[in-house]
Amino acid sequence: MTDYQRAYHILCAAGSAALDALPDTPENAAGRALIQDALLEAEDVCIETDDGP
């Protein structure tokens, strides 16, 4: 069975690390915004579909 929660966690950690690695410069603004928006959207999906403890 696929462990989607673990896969999501790994992917979000990688996205967050990528944001940390990219200097906050005008040249990187578009890429940083794409990653940030995707992370926030994924978080919203998880919150909406959370079954609770």
Predicted confidence band at 53 (pLDDT cuts at 50, 70, 90)?
low
Break the chain into its structural domains and give their ranges: 4-45
> Tell me, what's the pLDDT at 17?
92
Which residue type sits at 39?
L
> Tell me, what's the pLDDT at 46?
76
User: Rounded to two decimals, what is the model's pTM?
Assistant: 0.69
Inter-residue long-range contacts of 10-15, CB under 8 Å, 24+ positions, other chains counted: 11/42, 12/39, 12/42, 12/43, 15/39
For 1-52, write each residue's pLDDT tens digit: 678 888 888 988 998 898 899 898 999 999 999 988 988 898 888 778 766 5
Residue 8 neighbours by CB under 8 Å, 6+ apart: 42, 46
